[in-house]
Structure 1
């Protein structure tokens, strides 16, 4: 019996050892196979994780602005001090945008220069650029054929690079009861062909047009392709040094009228901007409706009708240009860099914060 039991015990022990070895062998085999599979699949897993991570990052970039072009991302900005000037309509850009540019790019120094013997404006700024007194100019109107011809005579060309949009607004004394003007009527007023407000649906009151000298004008109401561009203004036109002076004169002149950058005059408290149109049925206001009355100003101010400027429905646009001297010198380098700074996402946003319409 004892021998039989001993044999059975030995057999059970051997079976147990066999089964244990078999199980351990299978486990080891599975571990080896699993490890081999993991090693083979590892590149794909890493690749997929990398793609997933990339997709997550790409989804968050627009929110944190990493893809936005900024003043810091513009290359080849020269390190020096440069003179510039021109349009008075750019005053808010010089105050807001140019200050930001020089804060972010301290290596660049911009110095605004006023003309000596004329009033500041687009025309005088371009003339100073032609004469070598400025490194680049800011303009609220396109270049004329005459300016391009002068540049060519002097061995270079001028490039106009658009960076923003504005409009030309017509402003009058707030007491004047006129519903609006057509562009043709406005032009005839300044040519001396319409001299009383009763000729355009207003009161029996003589019209007193105010204007900058044409040679210094900041904006123009006669397009460069118009036959009227070279006609002399009417003898009743009174010339002013600046928009500030014109607004002051309008305040005490019931029949006065003046045209200028919409961004410059629409928010003014002491004048009223008139709707303009190709016809009386197409009058569009340069300000956002409803109009803010003088009594509400300055607690509230009229704001530029950016939608009409942007969609092109406003009848007299005034585009903003950087005028660049193409001479392969330092002037061209800074003019090109300045335009590129304004055309960045940051620059366009700042231009809109300054009250204009961007071009991007």
Structure 2
């Protein structure tokens, strides 16, 4: 009997040891499997956490740096309006204004050409004064005479800057001259420099081209300059527009013209000259390296926006919206149009059109 009990106890002990080993083995197996799964899944979990963190950061960035758009501007009138002015604004009218009217279909803008004058800043401001436009686009500041005319008619004019351009000097591509100083440019148009050999070029008479002062789109004589109001030389040949000037320059070896850099720098049939305050500081109006006429139109020269932004280029043309201050519909649309251009979306579009924004 004792032997039987001893055998049973021995068997029960072996069974207990077997079961304990089996349990421990399963636990160890589960731990190994669990560890293996965690090791395999760890990169995905870390990646998921990284993506989630990045997404959250992106959302925070967007919310903290929200930009203004055409849709954010209030008080945009629902009506049809006439506007016009500077030919330098052509790319803005084509690119930016079309975007505005797409996003704000309640606003309808109609560009109006002058009837008996060449299109430009001056003619646009005159048309605004005469009540033929609701607002005007200008590549130059208002003159004292224009402000006096407005006052005589019972209102004032306000100019609000929305962008920047440069005034570029262009010549026939065959002309060999390194550049001009601003003073030399002035002396050419005043008739005191008449041959290119006086400014380091060939022995070739200078033929200066210009729009008429009363129709000028841009000006080279600053409003606070001692040369303001000077009569241009009798050698100056007047042209209707920048397009005509560019066409003429391709035929005149000694010709020269000044105009909106955005308009003339990309042209294939003319060459833009570096310009400077002194002969040792000549700054090109185009981005270097210069694209040769042979490479054009596959490639075109572009405005030297960096020189315009940092002020190193000597003649800057500010872009203004000219607004009639009469507390009427003209003032409302002028303010609304300006505010649209000054949005982040508007400023980006102005730079896409080839100009420099103001912020």
TM range (shorter): 0.7 to 0.9
User: 1:61, 1:67 within 8 Å by CA — same for their partners in 2?
Assistant: no
- Runs of 4+ aligned structure 1 residues displaced above 2 Å come to 55-59, 61-66
What SS class does the counterpart of residue 351 from structure 1 fall into? helix
Equivalent-residue separation in structure 2 for 1:117 and 1:145 (angstroms)? 23
Q: 1:240: how far off?
A: 0.4
Equivalent-residue separation in structure 1 for 2:264 and 2:203 (angstroms)? 25
Instruction: Tell me what 1:264 maps to.
Output: 263
What SS class does the counterpart of residue 264 from structure 1 fall into? helix
Equivalent-residue separation in structure 2 for 1:306 and 1:66 (angstroms)? 25
What SS class does the counterpart of residue 294 from structure 2 fall into? helix
Normalised to the residue count of structure 2, the TM-score between the two structures is 0.83
Aligned residue runs from structure 1 range 77-116, under 5 A: 77-116=76-115
What SS class does the counterpart of residue 102 from structure 2 fall into? helix
Instruction: Tell me what 1:71 maps to.
Output: 70
Q: 1:226: how far off?
A: 1.4
Normalised to the residue count of structure 1, the TM-score between the two structures is 0.83
Q: 1:62: how far off?
A: 4.0
Equivalent-residue separation in structure 2 for 1:180 and 1:278 (angstroms)? 11
Instruction: Tell me what 2:331 maps to.
Output: 332
Instruction: Tell me what 1:188 maps to.
Output: 187
1:320 matched to 2:319? The reply is yes
What SS class does the counterpart of residue 115 from structure 1 fall into? coil
Q: 1:265: how far off?
A: 0.4
Change (3 A) 1:253 1:136: same
Q: 1:68: how far off?
A: 1.2
Instruction: Tell me what 2:126 maps to.
Output: 127
Instruction: Tell me what 2:273 maps to.
Output: 274
Q: 1:60: how far off?
A: 1.6
Instruction: Tell me what 1:25 maps to.
Output: none
Instruction: Tell me what 1:299 maps to.
Output: 298
Equivalent-residue separation in structure 2 for 1:56 and 1:213 (angstroms)? 58
Equivalent-residue separation in structure 1 for 2:166 and 2:305 (angstroms)? 9
Change (3 A) 1:93 1:61: farther
Equivalent-residue separation in structure 2 for 1:200 and 1:345 (angstroms)? 43
What SS class does the counterpart of residue 280 from structure 2 fall into? helix
Equivalent-residue separation in structure 2 for 1:93 and 1:64 (angstroms)? 29
Q: 1:177: how far off?
A: 0.2
Change (3 A) 1:259 1:61: farther
Equivalent-residue separation in structure 1 for 2:324 and 2:56 (angstroms)? 42
Q: 1:58: how far off?
A: 7.3
Aligned residue runs from structure 1 range 110-189, under 5 A: 110-189=109-188
What SS class does the counterpart of residue 82 from structure 1 fall into? strand
Equivalent-residue separation in structure 1 for 2:299 and 2:196 (angstroms)? 29
Residue deviations 1:74-96, cap 9 Å, x none? 00000000000000000000000
What SS class does the counterpart of residue 163 from structure 2 fall into? strand
Instruction: Tell me what 1:204 maps to.
Output: 203
Instruction: Tell me what 2:243 maps to.
Output: 244
Instruction: Tell me what 1:290 maps to.
Output: 289
Residue deviations 1:65-120, cap 9 Å, x none? 98111001000000000000000000000000000000000000000000001000
Q: 1:227: how far off?
A: 2.3
Equivalent-residue separation in structure 2 for 1:113 and 1:65 (angstroms)? 41
User: 1:250, 1:256 within 8 Å by CA — same for their partners in 2?
Assistant: yes
Residue deviations 1:295-315, cap 9 Å, x none? 000111101000000011100
Instruction: Tell me what 1:34 maps to.
Output: none
What SS class does the counterpart of residue 185 from structure 1 fall into? helix
What SS class does the counterpart of residue 191 from structure 2 fall into? coil
Change (3 A) 1:156 1:302: same
Residue deviations 1:215-265, cap 9 Å, x none? 000000000111212111000100000000000000000000000000000
What SS class does the counterpart of residue 318 from structure 1 fall into? strand
Change (3 A) 1:264 1:78: same
Instruction: Tell me what 1:23 maps to.
Output: none
Equivalent-residue separation in structure 1 for 2:61 and 2:131 (angstroms)? 43
Equivalent-residue separation in structure 2 for 1:267 and 1:320 (angstroms)? 19
Which structure 1 segments of 5+ residues have no match? Answer: 1-52
RMSD: 1.6
What SS class does the counterpart of residue 296 from structure 1 fall into? coil
Count of aligned pairs between the two proteins: 307
